[in-house]
Structures are given as structure tokens and as C-alpha cells.
């Protein structure tokens, strides 16, 4: 059986570490036959890894998608550049994997849904947590009514102090005017999980939070503008030297800040580039903590996101009339307690790929659906729209300090 072929728009971390690595590890399942990325270094690196010709590499997504070169198009461009290539690809006959969020506006989301219906193309939004063994196991437990009627769900996303500093203070998702609010760009995953696990429509949201720490007024006395020349860098946990050169957290994204570069090259980059800036002197404006209370047709959900954690993980508590469940995503354990009865712990084995194997399982699912000529996916744009609508409602509630009712 021949591999499913794909073209890739966007060869950044997601394009390379999720989709590119899958193709290299499973060449009988997926072959990437062409790529587009505006960054020459990323483009050349991807070309070498996947043995592509110069004719298969583009600096713009339009010529990549202008003709039908493959079975599948993977859109992993920056968030604000999702809608146009997604629509263009579908109209040119491609099924899609579309990175989350679908779009940075509800108008853009609606356009993607409309074109998917018009063209009959399958679109899988990369809500990869649905595909993980961890959350699939929880979904199965709930479908078996093991906890009775669900009354409350508490979900916390611990972003991790170093991930927050990288992506949402120094990095591409730091400023909502250039991308979107953090509750969409980071936590539409979590809102999607709540929709999927609870299985009821969200009726209203109330949200509070904001940016309290990574602000200019908190710049320490004696601190510099850049980490490598800062006199107090040694005492700062957000130090770019610690995160990217010392690799204190052994994080894949930090290791790949300049793939293939020497220590000295990375050092020079941090001396002048965006990731070497002091976290208190950046142009960030997204919240560093936020809480939302959501009414899912009588089931109360509380979602928390926070920058202030050593561990980068998600924690969940589900409280039912017959039992409760708690779990830690990164540690891979789920504990179920039946009231007056048994207590059991499920250990989830480690899996290859980012997001505890969720990325690879998404690709497995998409490939199977293409082979079977299925036009509906587990994470369709219609399904994903719900989490995006909730995210924008949460941001409206946070900014205007009011309850937002969803129709």
C-alpha cells in the first residue's frame, strides 16, 4: 500500500517536529512531497531531512498549493495565516490538517467551515489532545457512566514558567494584536477537551485574569535589557541563558531554537534576537493567568491557565454523583474512586511524538480516513468552532468583567 502524500505549508516547530518527524518515522504511512516556508534556513533544513528537490520547495504557500501535488495539505503557518491557505487548498482539491486555532477570528472560522462543506473536503483541526491515550481513556470512562451524573469538571493548564517565557512573553504568541488572546492560542485545546468530554453545549461563561507579572514595572533593580549582559541573570529563572543554553528543563523547543547551530551561534543569536530579551521588557500583552467558569447545560466547568508553574502539564478533576476522577496528563496517571467502593489507578504508557503521542495519533487517524474516503474527522471544523467561540466569549468576559451568554 502506497503512503499517503502530503504538502506542508509552514516548516516551523509544528511542521518539523510533529508532521515532519512522523513522515520520517513512518515512511510507509506518510510522504511529504513538497514544502513552503518563508525562512530560508528552515526551508533548507526541511529539504535536506526529507530529500526534496529544489522544485519541491517554495518560499510562499500559494505556488505550493496552486496545483494538486498530493492527497493532503498540512497548514502549519502562523495562526493569523491559517484561513487563506486553508480555503485555497480545499478549493484546489486537498483534504486538510489545519493547525489550531483554526483562525484568529470567528469570521475566519466560519469561512473555513463553509468552504469545507462546499468542497466536500475532510478537515482535521489539530486538537491533538482528543487523540491521546490519556484523554481518550477518560472519555471512555465517562461514556460508561462510571462516575454517575457529572456535576463539575475542573481543568488546569500549567503552562510552565519557561514555556510561558518562550512563547507568550518573548515569542510569537506574546501580543494579542499580532495573533490572538492566550485563551485561544494556547488553551483552545483545553476548551475543546471540555466540550468533547462533557458532550453538552456551553450556555454561558464568566472569566477573570490578566497580565500581572511580566510587565515593565516589575523589571528588577539592576537588571539589564538582555539576559546575556544582565548582572542578575544568575538569579532569574526566566534567564534565556538557562532556558536555551544551559537547557535547565531539557525542553524540545528550547533545544531547537536554532536547529543545527553551535553553542556559539546560539549565544550570538540570543545577544540580539527576541528570545534573549528580558521578560519584563517585551511587547507582550496576553494574560499570564486566567480562570473561566463555564455552564455546559447544567454541568459546571472551571478552567484555569497559569504561567506560574514548574511543571508543564494539565490536571483534571471530574466530580460525579457516583464517583470522582483525577489525573495528570504529563505524568500519565488517572485515579478513579467509586463512592463507597473501589479505587483504581490507570497508568498511561509513554508514546512517541509530541503531546504524549497525540500528534502521531492524529496523523494515524487522518491517513486511515483518507484511505477509507471519509469526509468527517474526530476534530472537524464544526466541532472545533465550539471551543473557539467559547475562547472569544471568555476574553470578552475577562475584559468587560461580565457574564457572556452563548446562543
| Domain spans of the chain, in order of start | 4-121, 130-214+284-354+386-405, 216-276
Most confident of 260-264, 314-318, 355-359: 314-318
At 367 the pLDDT is 96
| Multiple choice CATH, 130-214+284-354+386-405, 3.30.360.10, 3.30.930.10, 3.30.1130.10, 2.40.50.140 | 3.30.360.10
pLDDT band at 245 (very low <50, low <70, confident <90, very high): very high
Q: What is the mean pLDDT of residues 112-120?
A: 97
How many CB atoms are located within 10 Å of the residue 152 CB?
13
pLDDT band at 223 (very low <50, low <70, confident <90, very high): very high
Q: Does position 259 have pLDDT exceeding 80, yes or no? A: no
Q: Look at 252-266, 298-312, 352-366 and tell me which has the smallest mean pLDDT.
A: 252-266
Checking if the pLDDT of 107 tops 90, the result is yes
Beta-ladder partners of 343: 337
Beta strands 72-75 and 95-98, pairing class: parallel
Per-residue confidence at 254, pLDDT binned at 50, 70, 90? confident
Q: Are 141 and 324 in contact (CB under 8 A)?
A: no
* Superfamily for the 4-121 domain: NAD(P)-binding Rossmann-like Domain (3.40.50.720)
Cell numbers representing residue 70 in the block:
498530493
CA distance 102 to 388: 8
Mean pLDDT score, 175-192: 96
| pTM for this model (two decimals) | 0.95
CA distances from 177 to 174, 201, 284 (A): 9, 29, 10
Q: How confident is the model at residue 257 (pLDDT cuts 50, 70, 90)?
A: confident
- For the chain, the C-alpha Rg in angstroms (whole number) is 22
Integer CA distances (angstroms), 168 to 77, 81, 138, 258, in order: 17, 18, 29, 18
DSSP for 355-407 reads GGGHHHHHHHHHHHHHHTT----TT-HHHHHHHHHHHHHHHHHHHHTS-EE--
What distance in Å separates the CA atoms of residue 252 and residue 359, rounded to the nearest whole number? 15
Determine the Cα–Cα distance for residues 22 and 71; give it in Å rounded to an integer. Answer: 16
What's residue 156's pLDDT? 98
| The pLDDT of residue 382 is above 90 | yes
Average pLDDT of every residue of the chain: 95
Q: List pLDDT tens digits, range 295-352.
A: 999 999 999 999 999 999 999 999 999 999 999 999 999 999 999 998 999 999 988 7
At 228, the pLDDT band (50, 70, 90 cuts) reads very high
Residues 273-282 pLDDT 10s: 999 999 999 9
pLDDT (0 to 100) of residue 141: 97
**What pLDDT is recorded for position 342?**
87
pLDDT of residue 329: 96
Instruction: Say how many CA atoms lie within 13 Å of 116 toward its Cβ.
Output: 24
pLDDT level of residue 286 (50, 70, 90 thresholds) = very high
**Residue 65: is the preceding peptide bond cis (ω within 30°)?**
no
Q: Which residues contact 406 (CB under 8 A, 6 or more apart)?
A: 201, 202, 203, 204, 205, 389, 390, 393
Average pLDDT over residues 168-175: 96
Looking at residue 199, its pLDDT comes to: 96
Q: Is the pLDDT of residue 353 over 90?
A: no
Q: How far apart are the first and last CA of the chain?
A: 47
CB atoms within 10 A of CB 234: 9
Instruction: Measure the CA–CA gap between 109 and 193, rounded to whole angstroms.
Output: 18
Amino acid at each position: 500500500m502506497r503512503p499517503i502524500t502530503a504538502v506542508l505549508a509552514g516548516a516551523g516547530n509544528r511542521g518539523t517536529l510533529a508532521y515532519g518527524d512522523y513522515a520520517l518515522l513512518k515512511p510507509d504511512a506518510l510522504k511529504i512531497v513538497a514544502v513552503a516556508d518563508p525562512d530560508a534556513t528552515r526551508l533548507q533544513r526541511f529539504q535536506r531531512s526529507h530529500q526534496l528537490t529544489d522544485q519541491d520547495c517554495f518560499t510562499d504557500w500559494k505556488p505550493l498549493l496552486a496545483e494538486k501535488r498530493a492527497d493532503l495539505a498540512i497548514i502549519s503557518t502562523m495562526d493569523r495565516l491559517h484561513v487563506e491557505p486553508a480555503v485555497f487548498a480545499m478549493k484546489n482539491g486537498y483534504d486538510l490538517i489545519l493547525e489550531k486555532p483554526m483562525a484568529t477570528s470567528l469570521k475566519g472560522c466560519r469561512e473555513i467551515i463553509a468552504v469545507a462543506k462546499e468542497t466536500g473536503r475532510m478537515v482535521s483541526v489539530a486538537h491533538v489532545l482528543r487523540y491521546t491515550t490519556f484523554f481518550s481513556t477518560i472519555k471512555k470512562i465517562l461514556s460508561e457512566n462510571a462516575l454517575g451524573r457529572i456535576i463539575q469538571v475542573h481543568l488546569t493548564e500549567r503552562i510552565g514558567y519557561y514555556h510561558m517565557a518562550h512563547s507568550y512573553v518573548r515569542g510569537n504568541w506574546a501580543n494579542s494584536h499580532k495573533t490572538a488572546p492566550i485563551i485561544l492560542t494556547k488553551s483552545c485545546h483545553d476548551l475543546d477537551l471540555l466540550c468533547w468530554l462533557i458532550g453538552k453545549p456551553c450556555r454561558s461563561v464568566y472569566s477573570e485574569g490578566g497580565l500581572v507579572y511580566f510587565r515593565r514595572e516589575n523589571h528588577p533593580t539592576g537588571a539589564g535589557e538582555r539576559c546575556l549582559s544582565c548582572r542578575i541573570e544568575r538569579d532569574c529563572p526566566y534567564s534565556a541563558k538557562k532556558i536555551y543554553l544551559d537547557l535547565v528543563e531539557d525542553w524540545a523547543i528550547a533545544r531547537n531554537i536554532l536547529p543545527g547551530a553551535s553553542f556559539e551561534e546560539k549565544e550570538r543569536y540570543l545577544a540580539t534576537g527576541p528570545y534573549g530579551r528580558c521578560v519584563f521588557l517585551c511587547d507582550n500583552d496576553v494574560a499570564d493567568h486566567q480562570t473561566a467558569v463555564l455552564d455546559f447545560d447544567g454541568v459546571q466547568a472551571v478552567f484555569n491557565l497559569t504561567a506560574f508553574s514548574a511543571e508543564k502539564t494539565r490536571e483534571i478533576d471530574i466530580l460525579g454523583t457516583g464517583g470522582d476522577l483525577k489525573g495528570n496528563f504529563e505524568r500519565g496517571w488517572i485515579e478513579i474512586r467509586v463512592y463507597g467502593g473501589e479505587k483504581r489507578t490507570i497508568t498511561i504508557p509513554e508514546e512517541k511524538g509530541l503531546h504524549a503521542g497525540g500528534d502521531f495519533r492524529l496523523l494515524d487517524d487522518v491517513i486511515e480516513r483518507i484511505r477509507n474516503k471519509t469526509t468527517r474527522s474526530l476534530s472537524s471544523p464544526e466541532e472545533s468552532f465550539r471551543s473557539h467561540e467559547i475562547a472569544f466569549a471568555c476574553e470578552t468576559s475577562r475584559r468587560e468583567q461580565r457574564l457572556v451568554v452563548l446562543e
